[in-house]
Amino acid sequence: MDLKTVIRSIPDFPKPGILYRDITTLLTDARGFRRAVDELVQPLAGAKIDKVAGIEARGFILGGAIAHQLSVGFVPIRKKGKLPYKTISQTYQLEYGSDDIEIHVDAVEAGERVLLVDDLIATGGTAMAAIQLLERAGAEIVLCTFVVDLPDLGGADKLRANGKQVTSLVQFDGD
């Protein structure tokens, strides 16, 4: 199965000129979803992972399934104000302005080896902020993994330039 065939492309979303890669069609395809999770876990064979961290919101779905397969805990990385307990936050730049993501102060312990998961990497801003946040909390980022990479936007290369290992299942060039 070619996972690209079960990822929907939506032109002009969320604004004109953007070709949005929608993994909800992958999530609703039982074989595709299972294969994606299995392939995201495969590079970790034999690696020691303590936690999986997923970026809101599709990273929660993928990360939860991966954490289950690895028999480890899951850390939700949420937008500011969404977590009920004490948090630490990281600000990052958007195309117009900035945003914040947070984790609970006790989400990871110093030295824990963490897998970072999200559905897609584009410019890498959110993923880099998640890495910085987790590292400030004491985590060691073992791998950053994504279903979709948009290599023309440079996000995966940005993470690699910062010393992170990055994997993805499919690439859509020219987006």
pLDDT tens digits, residue range 122-141?
A: 999 999 999 999 999 999 99
Q: Cα–Cα distances in Å, from 84 out to 19, 106, 117?
A: 35, 12, 22
pTM of the model: 0.96
Predicted local distance difference test score (pLDDT) of residue 144: 98
Question: 15 lies in a domain?
Answer: no
- The yes-or-no answer on residue 95 being catalytic is yes
Of 21, 31, 35, 95, catalytic: 95
pLDDT tens digits, residue range 14-35?
A: 999 999 999 999 999 999 999 9
pLDDT tens digits, residue range 50-62?
A: 999 999 999 999 9
Question: Which CATH number is 92's domain given?
Answer: 3.40.50.2020
Question: Helical H runs in the chain?
Answer: 24-28, 30-41, 58-70, 125-136, 155-161
Give the orientation angle of helix 58-70 with respect to helix 30-41, to 10 degrees. Answer: 60
At residue 5 the predicted structure's pLDDT band, cuts being 50, 70 and 90, is very high
Of 21, 58, 78, 112, catalytic: 58
Predicted local distance difference test score (pLDDT) of residue 175: 59
The strand ranges marked E within 34-153 are 51-55, 73-79, 87-94, 97-104, 113-121, 140-149
Comparing 88-97, 130-139, 141-150, which segment has the lowest mean pLDDT?
88-97
Question: 19 lies in a domain?
Answer: no
At residue 94 the predicted structure's pLDDT band, cuts being 50, 70 and 90, is confident
Question: 27 lies in a domain?
Answer: no
End-to-end CA distance of the chain: 23
Question: 95 lies in a domain?
Answer: yes
Between strands 87-94 and 97-104, the pairing is: antiparallel
Task: State the residue range of the domain holding 135.
Answer: 47-171
- The yes-or-no answer on residue 58 being catalytic is yes
pLDDT tens digits, residue range 63-89?
A: 999 999 999 999 999 999 999 999 999
Residue in 51, 174, 46 with CA at minimum distance from that of residue 111: 51
pLDDT tens digits, residue range 31-52?
A: 999 999 999 999 999 999 999 9
Question: 75 lies in a domain?
Answer: yes
Q: Which helix (H) or strand (E) holds 22?
A: strand 19-22
Question: 5 lies in a domain?
Answer: no
Number of domains observed in the structure of the chain: 1
Return the residue matching tokens 């939860």: 64
Give me 168's structure tokens. Answer: 């993805």
Question: 13 lies in a domain?
Answer: no
Question: 111 lies in a domain?
Answer: yes
